Amino acid sequence: MTLREFLADGLERIMAWLICIVLSAMFLAATGTQTGVILILFIVLLLAFGIMELVCFVRQRIRLRELEAIMDQLDQKYLFAECVPGAKTLYERRLFELMHRAGRAMIGAVSDAQAAQREYREYVEGWVHEIKTPITAAGLICRNADNETRRRFMQELGQIEAYVERTLFYARAESPEKDFVIRQVQLSELAAEAIDRHRALLMQSGVRVETLGLERWVFTDDKWAVFILGQLLQNAARYRKRDPVVTLRADLVEKQVHLTVEDNGIGIPAHELSRVFDRGFTGSNGRSRGGSTGMGLYLCRRLADSLGLGLWLISEEGEGTAVTLVFPAKEKLTES
């Protein structure tokens, strides 16, 4: 709060004081009081009023800074009402009582929302595990069908399984620290598992996968990293051109490992690049080809942030897309 703001806020009070002082001076003049005496009284009253206002300004400013410091130190801002020191005036006491009531209502609402979110997450995880049984059973049943029917049926089942897996990771992304475990793993193992999980989709799409320099060790959660790579492989298969090729390449850059997933697909228009990681953004390619949910890259960014991985994307329309994952050095993991 500045002095100008304080004076502007108390303008009505200041005007009332000035009017009273002027009226007092006029009354004294009308009663025959000497002009010098009136002038002295006028100056004394102005000085007294000015000193009172200055003291009030300093007190309010110190109090506001004290409250702002408490607010800045809180991770959960809605607990401010529970942490403020005792009131110094009757007005503050009444105001803080109202804040406490509002704060308790907010804490109750937040607790209820967290409990509901936790229950929903547990339900989604349970549903995902339950739905995998009929998916597996359907895959076994369709083995007796003819080749074309089996191929199409397995393709659709693969899509269902991919959507189910995405749902599971979306639910777990709400509290990632409870689910991932950082350990040392080789990039070739992550790539092999991601490719194997999406082998049917890659083969049906005619995508050829090439790997280069993946004999490097990184520190990450293998389950989440495999999911991220799987989403990138799915995108490469979905937005392919003729003779599609996906290259997984690892490079060592300043003690960090850069894993790049590059394809020669249709690419992304330049004006859409800034939004590809937004939740629910499908883009012109997703709308034209259909079936896009706009959640794949959004989840990749969210999970990468939770794992402490860098993630960026470059693309040129008609030429292809390259997505790079940056795995931190061991020293940085130790420091954090």
- pLDDT tens-digit map of 114-165: 788 778 777 777 777 788 778 778 877 777 777 777 777 777 777 787 778 7
Residue-level pLDDT at 4: 81
Residue-level pLDDT at 176: 61
Q: What average pLDDT does range 222-232 have in this prediction?
A: 90
Per cent of the chain over pLDDT 90 is 13
Residue-level pLDDT at 332: 52
C-alpha–C-alpha distance, residues 24 and 37, integer Å: 12
Strands 208-212 and 245-253, how do they pair?
Answer: parallel
Mean model confidence pLDDT for the chain:
82
Q: What average pLDDT does range 197-215 have in this prediction?
A: 88
Per-residue burial over 103-142, b if 16 or more Cβ lie within 10 Å, else e, is beeeeeeeeeeeeeeeeebeebeeebeeeeeeeeeeeeeb
- Residue 247 near residue 262 (C-beta atoms within 8 A): yes
More confident residue, 209 or 24: 209
**If 0-12 CB within 10 Å is exposed, 13-18 middle and 19+ buried, where does residue 297 land?**
buried
What separation, in Å, do the N-terminal and C-terminal C-alpha atoms of the chain show? 38
Per-residue pLDDT band for 169 (boundaries 50, 70, 90) equals confident
For 100, residues 6+ apart whose C-beta sits below 8 A from its C-beta are 81, 82
C-alpha–C-alpha distance, residues 294 and 238, integer Å: 13
Q: Which helix or strand (DSSP H or E) is residue 26 part of?
A: helix 11-30
Chain mean position to CA 269: 25
Per cent of the chain over pLDDT 70 is 94
Per-residue pLDDT band for 16 (boundaries 50, 70, 90) equals confident
Domain ranges of the chain: 183-335
Kindly indicate whether the domain formed by 183-335 is annotated with CATH number 2.40.50.140. no
- Residue 171 near residue 121 (C-beta atoms within 8 A): yes
Cβ atoms within 10 Å, residue 73: 8
Q: What average pLDDT does range 15-19 have in this prediction?
A: 85
pLDDT in tens, 58-113: 888 888 888 888 888 877 776 777 777 777 778 778 888 888 888 788 778 878 88
Whether 334 shows a pLDDT value over 50: the answer reads no
Token pair of 287, please?
A: 């709308």
Chain mean position to CA 162: 24
Whether 336 shows a pLDDT value over 60: the answer reads no
Residue-level pLDDT at 260: 94
